[in-house]
A and B are shown apart, each in its own frame.
Chain A
Amino acid sequence: MRIGYPRALLYYHCFPFWKGFFEYFGHQVCVSGQTTKKLLENGIEKTVGEACLPVKIFFGHTLALKDSVDTIFLPRLVSLEEKTYICPKFMGLPSMIRASLPELPPLIEVDVNARKGGLRSRAGLWQAACEVTFRLGGSKRQAKAAFHAGQFAQQQYEQMLLAGWDPDQAISCLERPVAMPPSSSHGNSVSSGDSRLKPNILLLGHPYNVHDNGFNLGLKTRLSGMNYNVITMENVASRNALNEAGKLSKEIFWSLGRRMVGTAMYLLGRKEIAGVMHLAAFGCGPDSMIGEVVERKARRLNIPFISLVLDEHTGEAGFLTRVEAFGEMLARRERL
């Protein structure tokens, strides 16, 4: 069976798990292509105006898959970690898709809810894996093996990200397990030796904003081109980030938001970054609060902070001017 997986939203966060999981059963996992202008337009046409751009992109990717696959995998993500939630739009996503796109192939819908915790917060994922297995006609024993295959891939993926790999690079490397992983091309790891020469810039944002070049107009590459060492949330061990986030007077209750704030606090505290760039989609609920929290912390420590808010009307020229201005300001500060 050909299972469609849209290259959007939490694709960058948990795709390797589901790929490993489905491939254990011998299914073919088809991913939609990169975000293009056409795909974006298709998505925008079918989504309510008020939704954020990442959701519109998700609609576009789902539409792109509809004719080429037998089924589309569309989990309802409620929580990724204990005692947290994720943005409400993820909880409603399958329902939104069903209400707006009637002509899709059958969907595999399953709740992923790690909120109750247990088994190092993997319980939610395990339950989801079981449910999908049963729906595909498998047994509990098979579910277990497939779950482990998925976990294995996911752990490898997360380690590669931690070492500074780009998610697209890491995923394509996981697809050809025989090939030896090439050494990190732009070595943006916090700890690697040579990168210490370049100033670090923290590119803070949801993975689907930071890693989708169709969304952020290739921001990561551009920053590397401007001779900055780009650090993203994935480059800091989640243990460290969550530890820092726990020091807030009230813990953030969004899974990814907590990790983002923790990452920023960890790096701000260690004085390892020259500036913080917060990349958000216009109208993003969690980001409006997270950006505010991080901005105030950065300002108190006198570390430059810029908030880049993008939507489908963003012009490339204006966006780049702001990025360049921020970069030059950082460079001038370094020289002083």
Chain B
Amino acid sequence: MKCTFPHMGTMYVAVESLLEGLGHEVVVPPPITERTISLGQHGAPETACLPLKINLGNYIEAMENGAEVILMGGGVGPCRFGYYAEVQREILKDAGYNFEMMVLEPPKGQLSLAWQRFKPLLTKVSISKAIAAVRLAWAKAQIVDDIEKLTHQVRAYETVRGSATTARSKAIAMLRQAKNTRDLPRLVEEIKTLFQQVPVDPQRQPVVIGLVGEIYVMLEPFANRHLERLLGEMGVLVRRSAFLSDWLREQFFNLLRFDVQKKARLLAGPYLPHFVGGHGLESVADSVNYANNRVDGIIHVAPFTCMPEIVAQSILPKVSADLDVPIMTLVVDEHSAEAGIITRLEAFTDMVRRRRARQAES
């Protein structure tokens, strides 16, 4: 059974490790390119949001490489993501592809039937091996997040442009090779040294910009046209409000997240007292949180037509005015181009820099 799954930033590192640990052959979809988007866009409904189209492209490219089973997340709304798998399956079926789609969600109907479906996925190896695989994957997800944080931190101070990005790719490649939880502590040390070797200018005082928004476009660099790299190379210290392990925790261990949700509700409360699906509430809450922690600016990213983020986008100007922090919304879709995004980011960072200088004077 050759399995594949959609990309979302660095998620493949953890999921690949998990599936291999469970004894499956894994086809990681090729890295997202323009071709991926154009393949996906072809069959997808026009006004569907960007992740649906990129997912489709991932599946098609993975099937070209021999994938037979697609693993996908599900949900019960109100965000469209919950219905992605249904629509994507029908699109691919009508396009003549031969595959099986496994949707990871609470089953409809009899539990035993659901077990029959997922049995081949889970029972290829012994229980102890399966547990080890889950532990390794989870550890990798957390390390990958640490790599991202290190990259954000180092990139703003690097003296040779692109060296933090190179260190990041090397670190991720090393992490992908790890087959055992025992190797991980040593690996973490190696990764730290890798980033310490990046030449930096510690005297620099970069402006701090917080990223909030919809999780997919925030985590997937191709969807946001390498927003973090662009900002970092403009000398901005990027803070991101959500990481892979946050999302995985939310998907699979929802119960453990009550404290986080409660905090988000408390922060967003004065502006948005009700959850709106997706990450709309989190976008408002994280913006308030960043503003309270005195960042210099906030960038809100969202896929075009994303319903929860439109709610957030309507509310953020009020947050910006009340808490005196610049907020820019960046909406991306398959037609976004890097040049346009660079121009907007340059304008925003210039404004943020000037604003900070003015505040320092007074």
Which of B146-154, B303-311, B342-350 lies at the interface?
Answer: B303-311
Which of B76-84, B127-135, B196-204, B252-260 lies at the interface?
Answer: B76-84
Contact assessment for A288 and B48 in the assembled complex, using a CB-CB cutoff below 8 Å: yes
Contact assessment for A92 and B315 in the assembled complex, using a CB-CB cutoff below 8 Å: yes
A287 contacts which chain B residues (CB < 8 A)?
47
Instruction: Determine the distance from Cα of A86 to Cα of B275 in the docked complex, in whole angstroms.
Output: 12
> A47-B314, A51-B310, A95-B311 given as contacts; is B83 within 8 A of A88 (CB)?
no
Closest chain B residue to A300, Cβ basis: B94
Instruction: Determine the distance from Cα of A248 to Cα of B90 in the docked complex, in whole angstroms.
Output: 12
Instruction: Determine the distance from Cα of A249 to Cα of B113 in the docked complex, in whole angstroms.
Output: 14
Instruction: Determine the distance from Cα of A289 to Cα of B87 in the docked complex, in whole angstroms.
Output: 7
Interface string of A289-312 (1 = CB under 8 A from B): 101110010000000000001000
Interface string of A264-308 (1 = CB under 8 A from B): 000000000000000010111111110111001000000000000
Q: Does B42 contact A (CB under 8 A)?
A: no
Q: Does A91 contact B (CB under 8 A)?
A: yes
Instruction: Determine the distance from Cα of A38 to Cα of B146 in the docked complex, in whole angstroms.
Output: 53
Contact assessment for A293 and B47 in the assembled complex, using a CB-CB cutoff below 8 Å: no
Q: Does A252 contact B (CB under 8 A)?
A: yes
Contact assessment for A99 and B314 in the assembled complex, using a CB-CB cutoff below 8 Å: yes
Query: How far is the CB of A258 from the nearest CB of chain B, in Å?
Result: 10
Interface string of B56-81 (1 = CB under 8 A from A): 00000000000000000010111110
A283 contacts which chain B residues (CB < 8 A)?
47, 304-305
> A50-B305, A288-B45, A296-B90 given as contacts; is B82 within 8 A of A253 (CB)?
yes
Checking A111, A249, A253 against B77 with a beta-carbon cut-off of 8 angstroms, the contacting residue is A253
> A250-B83, A282-B47, A296-B94 given as contacts; is B271 within 8 A of A95 (CB)?
yes
Query: How far is the CB of A36 from the nearest CB of chain B, in Å?
Result: 23
Contact assessment for B331 and A284 in the assembled complex, using a CB-CB cutoff below 8 Å: no
Contact assessment for A50 and B274 in the assembled complex, using a CB-CB cutoff below 8 Å: no
Which of B158-166, B174-182, B238-246, B276-284 lies at the interface?
Answer: B276-284
Contact assessment for B274 and A96 in the assembled complex, using a CB-CB cutoff below 8 Å: no
Closest chain B residue to A251, Cβ basis: B108
Closest chain B residue to A289, Cβ basis: B83
Q: Does B313 contact A (CB under 8 A)?
A: yes
Instruction: Determine the distance from Cα of A16 to Cα of B342 in the docked complex, in whole angstroms.
Output: 51
Contact assessment for A309 and B47 in the assembled complex, using a CB-CB cutoff below 8 Å: yes
> A92-B276, A291-B45, A296-B90 given as contacts; is B304 within 8 A of A50 (CB)?
yes
Interface residues of B in 17-67 (CB under 8 A from A): 45-49
Instruction: Determine the distance from Cα of A283 to Cα of B309 in the docked complex, in whole angstroms.
Output: 13
Contact assessment for A88 and B308 in the assembled complex, using a CB-CB cutoff below 8 Å: yes
Closest chain B residue to A46, Cβ basis: B314
Instruction: Determine the distance from Cα of A100 to Cα of B94 in the docked complex, in whole angstroms.
Output: 44
Instruction: Determine the distance from Cα of A14 to Cα of B317 in the docked complex, in whole angstroms.
Output: 31
Q: Does A259 contact B (CB under 8 A)?
A: no
Q: Does A226 contact B (CB under 8 A)?
A: no
Interface string of B293-305 (1 = CB under 8 A from A): 0000000001011
Interface string of A199-218 (1 = CB under 8 A from B): 00000000000000000000
Checking A92, A253, A280 against B274 with a beta-carbon cut-off of 8 angstroms, the contacting residue is A92
Query: How far is the CB of B278 from the nearest CB of chain A, in Å?
Result: 7
> A95-B273, A284-B47, A288-B45 given as contacts; is B311 within 8 A of A253 (CB)?
no
A252 contacts which chain B residues (CB < 8 A)?
83
Interface residues of A in 54-105 (CB under 8 A from B): 55, 76, 78, 83-89, 91-92, 95-96, 98-100
Q: Does B117 contact A (CB under 8 A)?
A: no
Contact assessment for B48 and A289 in the assembled complex, using a CB-CB cutoff below 8 Å: yes
A309 contacts which chain B residues (CB < 8 A)?
46-47
A280 contacts which chain B residues (CB < 8 A)?
47
Contact assessment for A48 and B314 in the assembled complex, using a CB-CB cutoff below 8 Å: yes
Give the bracket for the number of chain B residues in contact with chain A: 35 or more
Q: Does B234 contact A (CB under 8 A)?
A: no
A98 contacts which chain B residues (CB < 8 A)?
318
Q: Does B272 contact A (CB under 8 A)?
A: yes
Contact assessment for B49 and A285 in the assembled complex, using a CB-CB cutoff below 8 Å: yes
Contact assessment for A85 and B274 in the assembled complex, using a CB-CB cutoff below 8 Å: no
A91 contacts which chain B residues (CB < 8 A)?
78, 274-277, 311
Most B CB within 10 A of own CB, among A78, A89, A286: A89
Q: Does B190 contact A (CB under 8 A)?
A: no
Interface residues of A in 103-146 (CB under 8 A from B): 111
Query: How far is the CB of B272 from the nearest CB of chain A, in Å?
Result: 5
User: How many residues on the A side are at the interface (Cβ–Cβ under 8 A)?
Assistant: 43
B275 contacts which chain A residues (CB < 8 A)?
91
Q: Does A254 contact B (CB under 8 A)?
A: yes
Instruction: Determine the distance from Cα of A98 to Cα of B305 in the docked complex, in whole angstroms.
Output: 21
Q: Does B324 contact A (CB under 8 A)?
A: no
Checking A86, A92, A254, A286 against B311 with a beta-carbon cut-off of 8 angstroms, the contacting residue is A92
A250 contacts which chain B residues (CB < 8 A)?
74, 83, 85-86, 103, 108
Instruction: Determine the distance from Cα of A86 to Cα of B79 in the docked complex, in whole angstroms.
Output: 10
Query: How far is the CB of B275 from the nearest CB of chain A, in Å?
Result: 7
Instruction: Determine the distance from Cα of A283 to Cα of B333 in the docked complex, in whole angstroms.
Output: 12
Contact assessment for B80 and A286 in the assembled complex, using a CB-CB cutoff below 8 Å: yes
Most B CB within 10 A of own CB, among A84, A254, A289: A289
B272 contacts which chain A residues (CB < 8 A)?
92, 95
A87 contacts which chain B residues (CB < 8 A)?
78, 307
Checking B45, B74, B307 against A89 with a beta-carbon cut-off of 8 angstroms, the contacting residue is B307
Instruction: Determine the distance from Cα of A280 to Cα of B46 in the docked complex, in whole angstroms.
Output: 12
Instruction: Determine the distance from Cα of A108 to Cα of B23 in the docked complex, in whole angstroms.
Output: 57
> A50-B304, A283-B305, A286-B80 given as contacts; is B90 within 8 A of A92 (CB)?
no
Checking B78, B83, B87, B305 against A86 with a beta-carbon cut-off of 8 angstroms, the contacting residue is B78
Closest chain B residue to A96, Cβ basis: B314
> A88-B278, A88-B311, A96-B311 given as contacts; is B271 within 8 A of A254 (CB)?
no
Closest chain A residue to B277, Cβ basis: A88
- Between A and B, 26 residue pairs with Cβ closer than 8 Å are A47-B314, A50-B305, A51-B310, A88-B78, A88-B308, A89-B276, A89-B311, A91-B277, A92-B276, A92-B314, A92-B315, A95-B311, A98-B318, A99-B317, A100-B314, A100-B318, A253-B77, A253-B82, A284-B305, A285-B305, A288-B46, A288-B80, A289-B45, A292-B87, A292-B91, A293-B86
Q: What 5 additional pairs, Cβ within 8 angstroms, besides A83-B76, A88-B79, A285-B307?
A: A50-B313, A91-B311, A92-B280, A95-B273, A96-B315
